[in-house]
Structures are given as structure tokens and as C-alpha cells.
Amino acid sequence: MDSPLLPYGVKRCTPGAFFLWTLPWLALLAWGGLAAVLCLWKGLNQTHMSNVFAFALWIVFDLAIIGLGAGAFFTGFLTYIVGRKELKSIINTAVVIGFICYSGAIAMLGIDIGQPIRGWFIFWHANIHSMLVEVSFCITCYLIVLTIEFVPLILENRQIRKVRELRLVGHNLHEIMAVFAATGTFLSFFHQGSLGGMFGVMYARPFAAREGFYIWPWTFFLFVLSAIACGPCFTILCTKLTEFLSRKKLVPDDAIQFLAKMSGWLLALYMVLKTFDYLGWIYGIVPRAGLTFMDFFNEGPYGVWIIVAEMVFCGFLPAIILLTPAGRKSQGWLIFASLLNCAGIVLNRFLFIIVTPAIPVMPFDRFRSYLPTWQEWGIGMAVVGYGFLVFSLAYRYLPMFPKETELNPLPVE
């Protein structure tokens, strides 16, 4: 039925099977839609956020998916600026993932703020001292860049390509993609960094506060590094999942192996620097605030195990696997390491967003805990559903994997 829309020379499931595949993701979107309507209509009292947990599940989702979506700018940088030609077979995937992550994050933020209609005040009444302003400006600009990077892929749809003008636009955009890759790299560096800076500058919250260089706390640089360390792994995971579901090879091994190796080195570097960061924090900021490391974990549900899991199991372990040629060449170990790497960044963001407010700063205050409501989960899961839906549509109707036909030649009839 939709075969005229499918890319040339590829095999796709039937429209009926595709429709069935989209149903769970549409259900997640419906769940999120209902939750969004309730939150916008009745207010944020629909959540379990509070004056203690001012940032909660949505911000964890936001920061996590923005970190995971960093594969887009980093792969773009490696492909167009550094000139790694083998990555051209995976850059489209990275861009689509980036677009999903960033557009999803911005949509969530629109519901997360108490006065969504005033969202434009961020730009109109911008407080240039706020890291969140830097985040907002860079994310918005970068989403525009990602859209521009996504457009040529959309224009490569078989039917759209028949329109000469659109084909020319797509072709010319391809030609100048290096400019957008460079712009995206610049913008991403600053918003990934300022997302980390947001927490590091909270000098009156000893759990989050960090020293740093000039106006940038160390978290600024660590967030950039952690994002580029895990972003490629998330791109690998999405590719492997697509390969698993479509039961065919979509990306040559050289691209995957290069990304895995880069990820391994960056993760190892990040882990070393993060270790120094923790040591500097434990022996610097924490005692200066009159606290010891264990004071943060006196009680409450969030224990030292999160830091151990973040550093050892989701940090050093995947770094070692990814740096070992045998490790990253084994499909199972590669996926395992990528999963751990991605889990590590989520844990890192969780620590800054949820554990920080859970720990009282005033000695006579008490530890808190937080459980999200179904509305909060709904909006979070809607982004997941949205991601699967957009990715599936892109895979079905666009030549997202340029080497697909080469790797999977159709039998001659």
C-alpha cells in the first residue's frame, strides 16, 4: 500500500505489521497526552514534585536524553569536521536520535514550567548570569540546527525527491552540512556544559556545588565529556536494536567499532577526571561546608551505592570493555558495555537532580524521598513513545542507513 514511499532497494514489513508495531508507542503518546492535558489544565499539582523536589523525574528525563542524544553533534563533528568517512553510514541515525531527544526534551520542559505561556520570557527577560538561560538558548538554537540536518534526509524520500526544487534544496543542504555540524558542535558544547554548570553553580547546595575554572564549575566540562562519551554508545544501541528487529545488518562494522572505540577512550578520560572531581569535592567543598561525605547518606533511600554503581559498574567497567578490542568486537559485550555506559549517565544526572534536594542542608531538616505520579511517568514515557515512532517512521520511509542496500542486496527476481 505504501510501497511507493519506501526507499529504493530495501525491504520493509507490511503496512499492517508496521501499524501494529506503532500501537504501543501510540498508546504511550496517548498516556502522555492525557497527562500533559491534566498538568496544563489543572497545574503541576498533578505531579509529586514539591517545594523540596523542585526538579524531578522530567528533569532527569530531560538531562538524560539530552546527554544520550549527544551522539548527533559528536558524530556530526567526527564526520564533517574531522572527516571520518566511515561514519557517513551512521550519521543519519545519529541526527534522527538527536532530533528526537532534543525535541522531546523541549516539549517536556514546556510542561514542566509552571507558566508555559511565559516560556518566551527566558529569551525576552534573559538573565545572562543564569546557566539555564545558556541551556535554553543553546538547546533552542541547536534544535533548529538539528532540524536543518534532518531536512535533507526527509527530502530524500522517494516521492519528495521527484520534486526537482526540493531535491536541489536537499542536495545543497548536504553540501554545506559541515557548517551546521560546526554550529551544532559549538552550541552543543555550551548547552551540555551549562546543564552541568546549572548544578555546579548552586554553591549553597554542597552536594551539587563544584569549584571550577573562571565562571564554569567542573560539572560544566564533565557534563560535556560524559555526553560525548555515552552519546555514541546510545547511537550504537539504537542501531543494534534496529538491526535486531529488522533482522539485517544496517551499518558496517568499521563505523560501529570506531564509535565504540571513541566512546571507550572518552569514557575512560571522563572516569579519570570524574574521580578527581569526586576527590576534590570530598576533600574540598564538603569539609568546607562542615560536612563529611557520609553525612549525605545518613538516611534516606539514596545511598552510596548510586555513586559506586555510577563510577565502577557504569563507568570503569564499560570503559575497559570498550577499550579492549576483543570486548568491543563481541556483539554481546559491546551491547552490554553500551547499556552500562548509558545507565551511568542517567545515574549521574539522577544524583544531581534527585539526590541533591533529598539531602537537607540545614542540620535540623530531614532527608526526603520522592516517587513520581502516573502523570509524570506518562509524560516521560510519551517521549520514549515519540522516539520509537519518529525513529520507526524515519527507518521505514527514509534512507536512514545509506549502506542498507549494499549490505542487504535484494534477491534478483
Partner 1 sequence: MKKENDPGKPDAGHETAHQSRQKYGMVIDLDKCTGCGTCMVACAAENNVAVRADQTDKERTITWMNLYKITNGKKFPHTEVSYFPRPCMHCDHHPPCVSVCVASATKLDFNTGIVSQIYTRCIGCRYCQAACPYGARYFNWWDVFPQDKGMDRYLSPDVSPRMRGVVEKCTFCHHRLMRAKSQAYAEDRRELEEREYVTACTEACPVEAITFGDLNNPKHRVSQLIKHPYAFRLLERLGTEPKVYYLSSRDWVRKLADNFLPGEYEPVVNRTWAADEWSTKPGRDEF
Least Å from the CB of residue 58 to partner 1: 11
Alpha-carbon dihedral sign for residues 348, 44, 359, 199: positive
The x, y and z cell numbers of residue 286, run together, are: 564538603
Least Å from the CB of residue 293 to partner 1: 12
Q: Which amino acid is at 342?
A: C
Is 132 a residue that touches partner 1 (CB under 8 A)?
yes
Question: How many angstroms separate the CA atoms of 324 and 141, rounded?
Answer: 37
Question: How many angstroms separate the CA atoms of 359 and 96, rounded?
Answer: 38
Q: Exactly one of 107, 291, 309, 320 binds partner 1 (CB under 8 A); which one? A: 291
- Of residues 357 and 399, the one with the C-beta less far from partner 1: 357
Question: How many angstroms separate the CA atoms of 110 and 364, rounded?
Answer: 35
Stretch touching partner 1 by CB under 8 A, among 90-98, 184-192, 326-334, 360-368? 360-368
Q: Exactly one of 179, 288, 312, 410 binds partner 1 (CB under 8 A); which one? A: 288
Alpha-carbon dihedral sign for residues 220, 227, 266, 296: positive
Stretch touching partner 1 by CB under 8 A, among 167-175, 186-194, 199-207, 313-321? 199-207
DSSP 5: G
- Of residues 3 and 127, the one with the C-beta less far from partner 1: 127
Is 20 a residue that touches partner 1 (CB under 8 A)?
no
Mapped onto helix, strand or coil, the DSSP state of residue 213 is strand
Q: Exactly one of 55, 281, 316, 401 binds partner 1 (CB under 8 A); which one? A: 55
Stretch touching partner 1 by CB under 8 A, among 22-30, 131-139, 184-192, 241-249? 131-139
Is 292 a residue that touches partner 1 (CB under 8 A)?
yes
Question: How many angstroms separate the CA atoms of 328 and 263, rounded?
Answer: 11
Question: How many angstroms separate the CA atoms of 183 and 388, rounded?
Answer: 27
Q: Exactly one of 1, 23, 51, 213 binds partner 1 (CB under 8 A); which one? A: 51
Strands 216-217 and 212-213: antiparallel
Is 122 a residue that touches partner 1 (CB under 8 A)?
yes
| Per-position DSSP letters for 143-185, written without gaps between them | HHHHHHHHHHHHTTSTTGGGSHHHHHHHHHHHHTHHHHHHHHH
Q: Exactly one of 79, 89, 103, 136 binds partner 1 (CB under 8 A); which one? A: 136
Least Å from the CB of residue 291 to partner 1: 5
Stretch touching partner 1 by CB under 8 A, among 201-209, 237-245, 276-284, 389-397? 201-209
Please answer whether residues 220 and 193 qualify as being in contact, where contact means their C-beta atoms are separated by less than 8 angstroms.
Answer: yes
Stretch touching partner 1 by CB under 8 A, among 113-121, 227-235, 259-267, 325-333? 113-121
Is 113 a residue that touches partner 1 (CB under 8 A)?
yes
Mapped onto helix, strand or coil, the DSSP state of residue 212 is strand
DSSP 90: T
Q: Using CB under 8 A, count the residues that bind partner 1.
A: 51
Residues lying near partner 1 in the complex (CB under 8 A) are found at 43-45, 49-55, 112-115, 118-119, 121-122, 124-133, 136, 198, 201-206, 287-292, 295, 356-357, 361-365, 368
